[in-house]
Amino acid sequence: MARFLNSKEAYGIIAQLLHGCVAALVFTQIVLGLYAANLPVSMARLQWLSHHKSLGLTILVLVLVRFVWRRIDAPPPLPHTMARWEHRAAHAMHHALYLVPVLAMFAGWLYASAAGLTVNWFGLMLIPDLIDKNTELAPLLKELHHVLVGLLVLLLAGHIGAALRHALVLRDNVVKRMLPWWRRGR
């Protein structure tokens, strides 16, 4: 039976769901952003970019919820068999995986505001601009958004690489702790 809260051995179902939802949405967002950016200027491109912005706002909220949840329900400790540098690297990676997506989404929102591009959430509500229209600042904010997304992709590659190392090379329970079907005590 799935546990709602984290234990010393594994993540609870709430942390697992938040992790899985954010991961799936971030990968979708990256693909959607690349697809929309490569379309010719058209109504279709504007619609895809509108979906991109809506999804970005959704991810922003979920990342913040996940951050708060992590503070409420502490994650299981890392194995003592991991070296000290690995503990530090894992903690730094997790902090970066909370910070960089938030920064990337705010940079995108700031860019949209500066470019005069309306942001709405799936057509249901208008989202206020963060700054006034500023055509001189818009290209800088767009570039910042792109750099932060590139950094996020690198972080995700490192995170996935570390997970694969734990699963396939070290064969420890680090990755299994996040899987809902893994039974503790095996």
Structural tokens at position 168:
């396939």
Residues 174, 75 contacting (CB under 8 angstroms): no
List of long-range contacts for 29-33, beta carbons under 8 Å, 24+ apart? 29/55, 29/56, 29/59, 30/149, 30/152, 30/153, 33/149
In a domain, 2, yes or no: no
Tens-place pLDDT, residues 84-128: 999 999 999 999 999 999 999 999 999 999 999 989 999 999 999
Tens-place pLDDT, residues 11-59: 999 999 999 999 999 999 999 999 999 999 999 999 999 999 999 999 9
In a domain, 55, yes or no: yes
Structural domains of the chain, count = 1
In a domain, 89, yes or no: yes
In a domain, 183, yes or no: no
Residue range of the domain that includes 40: 13-178
User: pLDDT band for position 181 (50/70/90)?
Assistant: confident
In a domain, 162, yes or no: yes
The whole-model pTM stands at: 0.90
In a domain, 61, yes or no: yes
In a domain, 185, yes or no: no
In a domain, 43, yes or no: yes
